[in-house]
Amino acid sequence: MSAPHHDDAAAHIERDTLATLAAPGWRYWLLLLVMVGLVACGGVAWTLMLRRGLGLTGLNAPVMWGSLITSFVFFIGISHSGTLVSAILYFTRSPLRPAIGRSAEAMTVIAIMTAGLYPLIHMGRPWFAFWLLPYPNQRGLWPNFHSPLVWDIFAVCCYCTISALFLYMGMLPDLSLLSPRMGRWRRVLYKVLSLGFAGTDGEWSLLEKAYPIFAGVAIPLAVSVHSVVSWDFAMTLMPGWHSTIFAPYFVAGAIFSGLAMAIVLLALLRRTQRLERYIRADHFDVMAKLLLAMSLVMSFVYVTEFASAVLRGSAAERAIFVWRATGRYALIYWLVVVCNCLVPLFALSGRVRRSLPWMVAISVAVLVGMWFERFMIAVSLAHTFDPFSWGAYVPTLTEVFLCLGGFGWFGMLFLLFIKIFPCLSVTETLEGARVQAEHPRLVPAPEQEAAHA
C-alpha cells in the first residue's frame, strides 16, 4: 500500500463524512418540517386523549388492543434489524458494515424509543407507568414476574440500553477523530462524548476485545426481545394468538420489516448526504437478497400458520383464520399477502435489486404490509371464541394521528441524528479503504462497482 493512496482515501472519507455534518439543504429542512408537523399532529392527539380519555380511540370490548399496540409491535420490529444486522456483519467481517452499520444501529435505538411511546399512550394514564417497575412502595404491590407484559418491559428496556451502548461504543473513535474539525458546540459535545479516547494501542485493543462481547450480547437480546413481544399475544388463550410459532414468526417479521426500513433510510442517506461512494448499489443488492429471503420465510410462516389452523386446529382457531381471509378485514389480509409475499418477488430481478427507486418502492410496500399484518393480529380479538362477543374495531382519527405522530417522531430523530453525529463510521471506513488498497479484488472500488453496474 502506498502512502499517497492511503492519504487520498483518508482525506476522501473525512471530507465526505464532514460534508454530511455540514449545514443541510432545503430538502432536508423540508423533510424535517414534515416530520415535525407529524409529531405536532400526534402531540395534539395525545393531549386531547389525556384530557378526554381512551374513549377517543376506537378500542372497545372485545378489541382492547388496536392501532397503538400495532404501532408498538411494528416499531419494535423495525428496531430488530439494526443492531442484529450490524452485529452479524461485524462477526462476518463484511465490507457492508462500515456503510450501513451506524445508520442501522441508530435506526434501532430510535425505533425502540418510538415503540416505547405507544404502551405509555395506550395506558391512558401514562403518569402511572412507573407502577410497572419493581420498587419498594407503600402499596405493598410488586409486578407479577409471571406475566409476559412484565417480561416485555425488561426485554425492551435491556435491548434499548444495550443497543444504545453498542451504537455509542462504535462512535467513540469517530467522535474523538472529528472533534477538532467541528464547529464550537459540536466540538465540545464530541469531546465530552468521546470520553478521552486517544487512539492508543491499549484503547484499540480494548475496543476490539469489548466490541465482539457487546455484539455477542446484542444478538441473543435482539432475538429475545421480539420473542418476548410475541409472547404478549401467544401466552393468552385467544385463537389465532395462542401458538408456538409466534416467537420465530415475530422474529422473522421483525427482521423483514427492519431490513425494509433500513433500505429506505439508506436510500435517503445516500441521496441527501451524497454518500454514493460508500452506500453503493451492490450494498442494496445484498440487502434486497436478504429482503427476498425473509419474504420467502414470511410466506412459509403464513402458509404454515394457516394450514396448521385449518387442518389441525380447533373450531375457533379454524374460524379465525377463515375469517381473516374472508371476513370484515379480508382486504387487509390480502393487502398483507400482496405486500409481504408477492411484491418482494420483484427483487428476483438483478436490475430491480440494483435500482434504488424500485428497492425503495418494494421496501415501502413491505413496511405497509408489516404494519397491517400486526394490525390484523391485534384485531383478531374481534372474532374470538364466543360469537355473542364478536365485534369490530376501526381506528379513530385520534389513533391515526397518533400513528402518524410516531412515524414523524421516528423520522425527526433520525434526521437529527444524521446531522448531529457522523452517519458513517470513519475509522471502519478507513480500515475498509486499507483492505481495499491491499486486496482490490476483495472489496470493489466505487469506480469498479460503477463500471460493473
Partner 1 sequence: MPEDRLWIARYDDPDRAAAALRTLANLHVLGVRVVSPAAYPAVHLTGHPGPWRLMGWLALVGGLVGLATAIALEVGTSMALPLDVGGKPVVAWIPYGVVMFELTMLGAGATNFVALVVLAGVSRRRIPKAALGTVRSDRLTIVVPAVGTADRLGAIRAALAGAIHVEGAS
Residue 298 near residue 253 (C-beta atoms within 8 A): yes
Q: Which residue has the cell 472519507?
A: 13
Q: What minimum distance in Å lies between the beta carbon of 7 and partner 1?
A: 6
Would you tell me which residues interact with partner 1 (CB under 8 A)?
1-3, 6-7, 10-11, 14, 134, 140-146, 150-151, 154-155, 158, 161-162, 165-166, 168-169, 173, 176-177, 179-181, 195-210, 213-214, 217-218, 220-221, 224, 228, 427-428, 430-431, 434
Q: What minimum distance in Å lies between the beta carbon of 169 and partner 1?
A: 6
Q: Which residue has the cell 381512551?
A: 54
Cell representation of residue 436? 481495499
Provide DSSP, 259-271: HHHHHHHHHHHHH
Q: What minimum distance in Å lies between the beta carbon of 10 and partner 1?
A: 5
Q: Nearer Cβ to partner 1, position 267 or 437?
A: 437
How far apart, in whole angstroms, are the C-alpha atoms of residue 61 and residue 52? 19
Q: What minimum distance in Å lies between the beta carbon of 157 and partner 1?
A: 8
Check residue 39 and report its DSSP letter.
H
How far apart, in whole angstroms, are the C-alpha atoms of residue 138 and residue 70? 34
Q: Nearer Cβ to partner 1, position 176 or 384?
A: 176
Residue 18 gets the label, from left (phi > 0), alpha (psi -120 to 50) or beta, of alpha
Q: Nearer Cβ to partner 1, position 140 or 357?
A: 140
Residues 6 or more apart in contact with residue 184 via CB below 8 angstroms: none
Q: Nearer Cβ to partner 1, position 159 or 407?
A: 159
Q: What minimum distance in Å lies between the beta carbon of 268 and partner 1?
A: 27
Q: What minimum distance in Å lies between the beta carbon of 433 and partner 1?
A: 9
Q: Nearer Cβ to partner 1, position 199 or 440?
A: 199
Q: Nearer Cβ to partner 1, position 260 or 423?
A: 423
Q: Nearer Cβ to partner 1, position 197 or 321?
A: 197
Amino acid letter for position 383: H
Check residue 423 and report its DSSP letter.
S
- Which strand (E) or helix (H) includes residue 168? helix 148-178
Query: With b meaning 16 or more CB within 10 Å and e meaning fewer, what string describes 342-374?
Result: ebbebbeeeebbbbbebbbebbbbbbbbbbbbb
Q: What minimum distance in Å lies between the beta carbon of 134 and partner 1?
A: 6
